[in-house]
Amino acid sequence: MSFIEWGALGQVLVAGLIVGAGIPALFALGLRLLAGTTTAPDARTAPAAGKDGGAPRTIAIARPTPARLAGAIACMGVVVGAIAYGLVFLVSGGH
Amino acid sequence: MDDVTETLLLALVVVTALAFDFTNGFHDTGNAMATSIATRALKPRTAVALSAVLNLVGAFLSLAVAATIAKGIVDAGVITLPVVLAGLVGGIVWNLITWLFGIPSSSSHALVGGMVGAVLAAVGTSGVLWEGVIAKVLVPALIAPVVAIAVAGLGTWLVARLTRGVPQDVTNRGFRWGQIGSASLVSLAHGTNDAQKSMGIILLALIAGGAVPADSGVPFWVILSCALAMAVGTYLGGWRVIRTLGKGLVEIDTRQGMAAETSSAAVILLSSHFGFSLSTTHVATGSVLGSGVGMPGAKVRWSVAGRMFVAWMVTLPAAGLVGALCHWLESAIGGTAGTLAVFALLVISSAAIWVASRRKPVDHTNVNEAWDEEKGASLEAVAATTGEAGGERVAPVPAVATASSVGPAVSAVGTVSTPAPSNQKVGA
pLDDT of residue A94: 56
Any B CB within 8 A of A65 CB? no
Task: Provide the residue type at B341 as one letter.
Answer: A
- What is the Cα–Cα distance from B331 to B119, expressed in whole angstroms? 12
pLDDT of residue B413: 39
Task: Tell me the residue ranges of DSSP E strands in B267-365.
Answer: none
Express the helix, strand and coil content of chain A in percent, nearest 5 each. Answer: 65, 0, 35
CA neighbor of B88 nearest in space, from B104, B108, B106, B71: B108
- Whether residues A16 and B266 touch (CB distance < 8 A) is answered with yes
Report the SS3 class of residue B250.
Answer: strand
pLDDT by residue (tens digit) across B180-232?
999 999 998 888 888 888 888 888 888 888 888 877 778 889 999 999 999 99
Residue ranges of chain B whose pLDDT lies below 70 = 1-2, 62-70, 373-428
User: Across residues A72-85, what is the average pLDDT?
Assistant: 89
Residue in B closest to A28 by C-alpha: B159
Cβ of B159 within 8 Å of Cβ of A93? The answer is no
User: Domain spans of chain B?
Assistant: 2-427
Tell me if A11 and B276 make a contact (CB, 8 A cut-off): yes
Chain B environment of A63 (Cβ under 8 Å): none
DSSP per-residue string spanning A33-71:
HHH-TT--GGGGTSPP--S-SS--SSS--SS--HHHHHH
Which residues are B74's β-sheet partners? Answer: B128
pLDDT of A39 higher than 60: no
Task: Give CA separation, B291 vs B62, B312, B330, in Å.
Answer: 31, 20, 46
CA-to-CA separations, A83 to B136, B159, B185, B188, in angstroms, rounded = 28, 18, 8, 12
Residue A45 touches partner B, C-beta closer than 8 Å: no
Tens of pLDDT, residues B13-43: 999 999 999 999 999 998 899 999 998 889 9
Say if A29 is an interface residue toward chain B (CB within 8 Å). Answer: yes
- For residue B210, CA distances in Å to B82, B206, B271 come to 15, 6, 36
Does B162 lie at the interface with A, CB-CB under 8 angstroms?
A: yes
Question: What pLDDT score does B405 carry?
Answer: 41
pLDDT value for A93? 66
Cα–Cα distance measured from residue B252 to residue B133, given in angstroms and rounded to the nearest whole number: 35
B181 close to A (CB below 8 A): yes
End-to-end CA distance of chain B: 46
Calculate how close chain B gets to A19, using CA atoms only, in Å. Answer: 6
**Dihedral of CA B204/B207/B211/B212: which sign?**
positive
